[in-house]
A and B are shown apart, each in its own frame.
Chain A
């Protein structure tokens, strides 16, 4: 690839390919990876929920405690809130331009998504370990 000298860009800058956000395609790629995971996980979770309709507390709890279900539910929760954080971030970036509002919303997005994921994972682990 030839390097044209009429751009104020060094070859190293092009090679790194990080762009103006200094983040490259990281966000894009992670959004797609979590999306592909969620295609399978969300279908599985819909099936699990439907199979538990009308069941009592002990049955639902033991279904969540099942090692495979617990593993896949933790994966579903992490993928969900990761994907949600990335998606909401783009929406805030696109529509909110007032500095303080944007910063506040970005922080709220990160904190709520992380807390929601932590609370769910902790609850599933408590159920899975029978606490």
Chain B
């Protein structure tokens, strides 16, 4: 139930966030000044909040999406296992998001 509606909600978030990715590509193509504007926004508190929300949405939609593909193949459909493996999406997405940001912060520290 919750995992299903979260899959849709994160899908909408990802679609909106992808429009910012379009801005990234277009400003990178437009030249150094536009890129500086975009990266200043990405480094702002609001930018971090958006990127953090986007990364968790991606992690959740990715893991739950793989779960849906497995279910499409006919596995894990009994109610108990369905509920049990829904926790994989919830905790797995938190772990994956943490992993992304730990690696990102290490990379920033090392650069």
Partner of A50, one of B15, B21, B25, B104: B104
Interface residues of B, count at CB 8 A: 30
Is A72's CB within 8 Å of the partner chain B? no
Q: A131: which B residues are within 8 A, CB to CB?
A: 29
Is A36's CB within 8 Å of the partner chain B? yes
Inter-subunit contact B28/A39 (CB<8 Å): no
Interface residues of A, count at CB 8 A: 36
CA of A121 to CA of B108 in the docked complex: distance in angstroms?
28
Is A64's CB within 8 Å of the partner chain B? yes
Inter-subunit contact A87/B11 (CB<8 Å): yes
- Mostly, the A contact residues are helix
Inter-subunit contact A119/B69 (CB<8 Å): no
Q: How many A-B residue pairs have CB under 8 A?
A: 83
- Given A36-B69, A88-B12, A119 and B26 touching (CB < 8 A)? yes
Q: B78: which A residues are within 8 A, CB to CB?
A: none
Inter-subunit contact B58/A84 (CB<8 Å): no
Inter-subunit contact B22/A50 (CB<8 Å): no
Residues of B that sit less than 8 Å from A by CB = 8, 11-12, 14-15, 18-19, 21-22, 25-26, 28-29, 32, 35-36, 55, 58, 62, 65-66, 68-69, 72, 100, 103-104, 107-108, 111
Residues of A that sit less than 8 Å from B by CB = 32, 35-36, 38-39, 42-43, 46, 50-51, 53-55, 57, 60-61, 64, 73, 77, 80-81, 84, 87-88, 91, 112-113, 116, 119-120, 122-124, 126-127, 131
